[in-house]
Amino acid sequence: MKKLFILIGSVLLIAGIFQFSSCDQKSTSKMNAPIAKKIEKVFTEFGNKRVDNYYWLKERENPEVIAYLEAENAYTKSVMKDTEELQENIYNEIVGRIKQTDMSVPYKLNGYEYYTRFEEGKEYPIYCRKVLKDNASEDIMLNGNEMAEGHAFLHIGGWEVSYNNNYLVYSVDTVSRRKYTIHFKNLKTGEVLAESIPNTAGNVTWANDNQTVFYAIKDETLRPHKIFKHSLNTSPDNDQLVFHEADPTFFAYVYKTKSDQYIVIGSVSTLTSEFRILDAFKPEGDFKIFQKRKRGLEYDIKHQGNRWLVRTNQNAKNFRLMESPENNTSYENWVEIIPNRDDVLLGYVTVFKDFYILAERKNGLQTFRVFDIKKGKDHYVAFNESDYFAYTAYNPDYQNEKLRYRFTSLKTPGTIYDYDMVTRGLVQLKQEEVLGGYDASEYETERVYATARDGVKVPISIVYKKGFKKDGSQPLFLYAYGSYGSSMESSFRSYRLSLLDRGFAFAIAHVRGGEEMGRYWYEDGKLLKKKNTFFDFIDCGKFLVDQAYTTKDKMFAAGGSAGGLLVGAVINYESELFKGVVASVPFVDVITTMLDESIPLTTSEYDEWGNPNEEEFYNYMLSYSPYDQVEAKDYPNLLVTTGLHDSQVQYWEPAKWVAKLRDLKTDDNLLILHTNMDFGHGGASGRFEKYKDISLEYAFMLKLLKIRD
């Protein structure tokens, strides 16, 4: 089918040769907004009738769908045309703060040091290593810039060097669907071997025979469900299946323990986990179940010496630490080391030969508790800011006595430290360099608490430039996520300076559904308590207005993916609370998506959202689903973004949502949809390209405030 390309001024209009009602026009002050045609699709569940007039937008290969998305892009370009110079200025500001020729802090492993580096003007990292000797030359293992040639997108997934240092296995996605192809490289000769393995999860690990790798492949819903074993220099057609996860609510992955002693297959769902282990020196052997799955039992394992450390929720809401013998690993053999604590969440465990570290979260802030096995003592690593985020960096050397970690806050650029666990000495290795003379002392951070409607105190982290007036005269950008127990951390982002320096405050609402305040915080924001997430966000916004940080006419909200669901639900409940909303790859068509088991991440997430095949969950999910609850009323200004190749939130969810909003809303506020036709859920893959989307988002807000520079 041909398409007509009509150039009007500087705007390219796309009209497929089909019924033109698919792009009827609605009058606006700029070029006319595309109006998607309606084709009634009726769903009937539990006696309830749902009409979806835009279900046809799911037809990815339909030229009319592509034409509609391109027409929306042209409309967005038209509406935002008066901000093009501003967008360019913001983009140049953001990129201008980035040190273009840069290198990561090297780490040492098995006789080599490894690092990544960037070259000026280049989008992708270069993965390098050097042998540990004086004046050693650099070996380039992977050059992302060369690998990206001819592709709009490139992501290097998992990579690992063989036990004898001679071979590299790595995975690559060039489509942005998170389907990776595995490749092998001889690091001695530089030759990339002929064999490759498609449709994998990107997750791959070596056995210690230097010939065998284990990897996961994906099913038609993009769920990693099978683990295969491959021998170097053989056809992948002959690879052996070693594990099949048949339960569609679980996904599988594989890794090698830091001790190099075991290959581990993990199989996990939202509420349940199960592991299998195999001697890494005997890849021909059979995997043994560590502890058989039991619904509601979550655990993860770390090998250390002649034991396993097991972090588990068994009789422990906030998790406790157990010890298991190396060979008798079922639950009845576990012995408690650290008990459950109601006010402390045990987040994860990092192991070394003579030490282990617990990442503990209390009052929303993460600390490190270091255990010295030889001395039988423990201590905490202290941090000197009241609102921050610290996390362990990559620590692959099992023998090391130094813990490498990263510290950051809303005003402190990411800083890498080595902490000596014996002497307790601390060495700063690197701090993210912000070009242009950034001075952290010119900015202030706060941690305040809003009282939600049910009396719960919800933390809010805030940053602004000194001189910010709390009299309602300045704008504020409020962000949240609130799902999957994923905590939104107080991390520095240099691109935010383009807002802060224009008078904005930036705030993170640590709403329920995350895990900032412990496991109960997560459980109070999921399933039949999901609305707590939305109401927390609304109440945080109202608190910020009541405390004169801003006003409704100057407050903006943003969320992406499940955070897009959050802001989508919020504007149905409180459509006048925000001046504008940015919804990035938003999960807004909750019921239709969760009823479609062919879509990635559906069945595996019943324990997060609920199973809409059950009436109680269906009714509850329907009551907040942003798409289903759109109605004829005023909505705030909206910028919605998506990616055509998104594998997590399919492009049609935001596209349908915008179409329905445009049909029903009663205001003249902006409603624009930007679809990236080359990328997926994570946006652009290059280190600079992604900031074009951020520049668009910032220009959208500044336009609404009539800020032109």
Between CA 26 and CA 414 the distance in angstroms is 47
Verify that 139 and 78 share a domain, yes or no: no
Percent of the chain clearing pLDDT 70 (strictly above): 94
Residues 6 or more apart in contact with residue 117 via CB below 8 angstroms = 101, 102, 103, 104, 125, 126, 128
Number of domains in the chain: 4
Model confidence at 493, pLDDT cuts 50, 70, 90, reads very high
pTM here is 0.88
Verify that 569 and 647 share a domain, yes or no: yes
Joined together, the tokens standing for residue 106 give 């090297």
Tell me the CATH number at 684.
3.40.50.1820
Q: Dihedrals φ, ψ of 315, to 5°?
A: 55, 35
Name the E strands within 81-122.
102-103, 107-109, 112-118
Q: 376, 409, 433: which is the final residue of a domain?
A: 433
Q: Say if 28 falls within a structural domain.
A: no
Residue 24, pLDDT above cutoff 70: no
Q: Say if 572 falls within a structural domain.
A: yes
124-136 mean pLDDT? 94
Verify that 428 and 538 share a domain, yes or no: no
Between CA 8 and CA 266 the distance in angstroms is 56
Verify that 245 and 181 share a domain, yes or no: yes
522-539 mean pLDDT? 98
254-271 mean pLDDT? 96
Between CA 494 and CA 433 the distance in angstroms is 9
Tell me the CATH number at 170.
2.130.10.120
Q: Say if 665 falls within a structural domain.
A: yes
Residues 6 or more apart in contact with residue 224 via CB below 8 angstroms = 201, 203, 216, 217, 218, 245, 251, 252, 253
Residue 258, pLDDT above cutoff 50: yes
Q: Say if 26 falls within a structural domain.
A: no
Between CA 538 and CA 574 the distance in angstroms is 7
Instruction: Give the pLDDT of residue 190.
Output: 95
Verify that 216 and 240 share a domain, yes or no: yes
564-578 mean pLDDT? 97
Verify that 521 and 651 share a domain, yes or no: yes
Residues 6 or more apart in contact with residue 575 via CB below 8 angstroms = 633, 634, 635, 636
Between CA 584 and CA 486 the distance in angstroms is 17
Between CA 645 and CA 653 the distance in angstroms is 13
369-375 mean pLDDT? 97
Q: Dihedrals φ, ψ of 91, to 5°?
A: -60, -45
Nearest Cα to 466, choosing from 482, 444, 439? 444
Model confidence at 30, pLDDT cuts 50, 70, 90, reads low
Verify that 113 and 250 share a domain, yes or no: no
Strand 139-143, strand 126-131: pairing: antiparallel
462-485 mean pLDDT? 97
Residue 597, pLDDT above cutoff 90: no
Model confidence at 122, pLDDT cuts 50, 70, 90, reads confident
Which residue shows structure tokens 């459950």?
340
Verify that 409 and 444 share a domain, yes or no: no
Q: Say if 373 falls within a structural domain.
A: yes
Model confidence at 15, pLDDT cuts 50, 70, 90, reads very low
Verify that 542 and 660 share a domain, yes or no: yes
Q: How far is CA 81 from CA 11, 200, 455, in A?
A: 9, 41, 45
Q: Say if 43 falls within a structural domain.
A: no
Query: Would you name the residues annotated as active-site residues?
Result: 561, 646, 681
Verify that 680 and 545 share a domain, yes or no: yes
Q: Say if 58 falls within a structural domain.
A: no
550-572 mean pLDDT? 97
Instruction: Give the pLDDT of residue 601.
Output: 65
DSSP category for residue 496: G
| Of 682 and 9, the one with more pLDDT | 682
Between CA 584 and CA 643 the distance in angstroms is 9
Model confidence at 14, pLDDT cuts 50, 70, 90, reads very low
Three-state SS across 249-270?
CCEEEEEECCCCCEEEEEEECC
Q: If DSSP codes are grouped into helix, strand and coil, which group holds residue 279?
A: strand
- Are 23 and 34 in contact, with CB atoms under 8 Å apart? yes
Nearest Cα to 179, choosing from 160, 152, 206, 197? 197
Which residue shows structure tokens 């502890």?
291
Verify that 132 and 203 share a domain, yes or no: no
Q: 384, 401, 433: which is the final residue of a domain?
A: 433
Between CA 480 and CA 507 the distance in angstroms is 9
Residue 13, pLDDT above cutoff 90: no
Q: 251, 278, 297: which is the final residue of a domain?
A: 297
Nearest Cα to 128, choosing from 154, 156, 95, 106? 106
Please give the mean pLDDT across all residues of the chain: 92
Verify that 81 and 134 share a domain, yes or no: no
Q: Say if 224 falls within a structural domain.
A: yes
> Containing domain of residue 136, as a range?
99-143
- Are 557 and 581 in contact, with CB atoms under 8 Å apart? yes
